[in-house]
A and B are shown apart, each in its own frame.
Chain A
C-alpha cells in the first residue's frame, strides 16, 4: 500500500444532477407535509366557524382548504415526475455499465482469437486426418495378412476333415458289394446273361482289386476327391465290364 493520497470517487455532473433531484424530492415531500397541516388547520377553523354559526367565514375557510388540496395534488404530480426522472437516470447508468462490460468482454474474445491463426488450425486438422488415414492403412494391411493365413489353414483343416469322413464311409462300401453289383451290372448284362456268372467272378475280382486299389489310393493321398467316390467306382466298374465283355466275348 503506502498511498499517501487515496483516490476518492470522482463526482461527475450526473451525480450532481442526481443530488439535485433527490433534494428536490425531499423538499417537495416537506412542502406536502406543510400543505397537509394547513389543510387540517383550515378544516378545524371551518368547523369552529360553523359552530359559531358564521356561515360565510366557514365557507371561506372551506374554500381555502379546497385550494390547498388542489395544490397538494399538483405537488403529487411533480413528485411523480421527479421520481420518474431519478429512475430514468438510474436505468441509463446501469445500461452504460452493462454496455461497458459487454464491450470489455468482446475485446477479450477478440484478443484471444487473434492468437489463434485459422490457417494453422486448418493445417492441424489436415495433419490429424492424414495420421488417422495412415493408421487405418496399417490396420488394413495387418488385417489382410492374417486373414490370408487364416484362410489357408481353414481350407487345409476342411480337406483333412473330408478325407477322414471319406475314410469312415469307404470301408462300408466293399462290405456290401453283392447287392450293389447286380444293380449296376444288370443293364449291361442283359444281352450276355449266360456268361454272367463267370464274368461275375472275374469282374468281381477286378472290381475288388480295383476297389482295394482305390481304397489304398484313397488312404494315401487323394486330396482332390469330389464328393461321391462310389459314383466314380460305379462308372469304373461299368467301364471295366465293358472292356471285359468284349475281351471275354
Chain B
C-alpha cells in the first residue's frame, strides 16, 4: 500500500471553503466526493464519524479544514448518489460504500469459489481476517458491511448465516450451486 496521493486541489485553500457560486460549488462537491471515495478505499475506511476528526478533511500544511457543514454536505451528496449510507438518524455516522454491497457480495462469492468452499462453512472472522481472504480486497472488511453483504447473499439463496452454540461465533454456510 503506497502513500495516498492527494490531488492537486487539496493544497488550494479555496477548496476547503464551501463555495457560494453554484457552478463552482458543484465542481467542488464532485471533486470532494471522488476524493472521499478514493481515500476510504485506499485506507479501508468504512465509517466516517462526523463528530470526530477525519484526517482527510483537513490539510495542516495550508491550515485549512472543511467545516462541519461542508462535510455533511459532501457526505449527503454521496448518500444521494448511493455511494454512502447514514448509519443513524442524526446523520452523524456515515457508512462509505466505495464498493457497493452488491459488489462486496460478489467478491465473497468469488472467494468461496476460489477456495472451493461451496457447501462449506466459514466464520465471519475468517472472511474478515483469515487465510483465504488475505491479499484480496475482503481482508479487513468492516463487520457491518460484511453482514450486509451476506444478508444480500442470503436473499439470493446462496448463503445461510447461523450462530454456533457458544454464541459469539457466527458462521455462514455457502450453497453448493
Instruction: Give the chain A neighbours of B159 by CB distance below 8 A.
Output: 8-9
Given contacts A19-B162, A23-B123, could you give 11 more A-B pairs where the C-beta distance is less than 8 Å?
A8-B154, A8-B159, A8-B160, A8-B175, A9-B175, A15-B171, A20-B165, A22-B171, A26-B126, A93-B120, A97-B119
Closest to B168 in A: A23
- Asked if B63 is at the interface of the complex by the 8 Å CB criterion, the answer is no
A22 to B127, CA, bound (A): 12
User: Which parts of A185-209 form the interface with B (CB within 8 Å)?
Assistant: none
Instruction: Give the chain B neighbours of A97 by CB distance below 8 A.
Output: 119
User: Which parts of B137-175 form the interface with A (CB within 8 Å)?
Assistant: 154-160, 162, 164-166, 168-169, 171, 173-175
A93 to B156, CA, bound (A): 25
A20 to B159, CA, bound (A): 18
Given A9-B173, A9-B175, A9-B176, A19:B121 Cβ within 8 A: yes
Given A19-B169, A22-B171, A11:B123 Cβ within 8 A: no
**Residue of A9, A10, A18 with most partner-chain B CB within 10 A:** A9
In contact, B171 and A9 (Cβ under 8 angstroms): no
Q: What are 6 of the A-B contact pairs (CB < 8 Å)? A: A11-B173, A15-B121, A19-B164, A20-B164, A20-B166, A22-B122
Instruction: Give the chain A neighbours of B123 by CB distance below 8 A.
Output: 19, 22-23, 26
In contact, B119 and A26 (Cβ under 8 angstroms): no
Closest to A5 in B: B157
- Asked if A123 is at the interface of the complex by the 8 Å CB criterion, the answer is no
**Residue of A7, A16, A23 with most partner-chain B CB within 10 A:** A23
**Majority-rule SS of B interface residues:** mixed
The digit string for B91-108, where 1 denotes a CB below 8 A from any CB of A, is 000000000000000000
User: Which parts of A1-33 form the interface with B (CB within 8 Å)?
Assistant: 6-11, 15-16, 18-20, 22-23, 26
Instruction: Give the chain B neighbours of A20 by CB distance below 8 A.
Output: 164-166, 169
In angstroms, how far is the closest chain B Cβ from the Cβ of A91?
A: 13
A157 to B36, CA, bound (A): 111
Instruction: Give the chain A neighbours of B168 by CB distance below 8 A.
Output: 23
In angstroms, how far is the closest chain A Cβ from the Cβ of B164?
A: 5
Given A22-B171, A26-B123, A16:B160 Cβ within 8 A: no
In angstroms, how far is the closest chain A Cβ from the Cβ of B151?
A: 11
Which chain B residues have a beta carbon within 8 Å of chain A's beta carbons?
A: 119-123, 125-126, 154-160, 162, 164-166, 168-169, 171, 173-176
In angstroms, how far is the closest chain B Cβ from the Cβ of A150?
A: 76
Which chain A residues have a beta carbon within 8 Å of chain B's beta carbons?
A: 6-11, 15-16, 18-20, 22-23, 26, 90, 93, 97
Instruction: Give the chain A neighbours of B164 by CB distance below 8 A.
Output: 16, 19-20, 23
Instruction: Give the chain B neighbours of A15 by CB distance below 8 A.
Output: 121, 162, 171, 173
Contacting A10 at CB < 8 Å: which of B125, B154, B160, B169? B160
Contacting B162 at CB < 8 Å: which of A7, A16, A22? A16
**Residue of B125, B171, B174, B175 with most partner-chain A CB within 10 A:** B171
A23 to B170, CA, bound (A): 8
A8 to B121, CA, bound (A): 14
Instruction: Give the chain A neighbours of B156 by CB distance below 8 A.
Output: 6
In contact, A22 and B160 (Cβ under 8 angstroms): no
Instruction: Give the chain B neighbours of A19 by CB distance below 8 A.
Output: 121, 123, 162, 164, 169, 171
A217 to B156, CA, bound (A): 115
In angstroms, how far is the closest chain A Cβ from the Cβ of B166?
A: 6
In angstroms, how far is the closest chain B Cβ from the Cβ of A211?
A: 112
Instruction: Give the chain B neighbours of A26 by CB distance below 8 A.
Output: 123, 125-126, 169
Closest to A26 in B: B125
Instruction: Give the chain B neighbours of A23 by CB distance below 8 A.
Output: 123, 164, 166, 168-169, 171
A109 to B139, CA, bound (A): 46
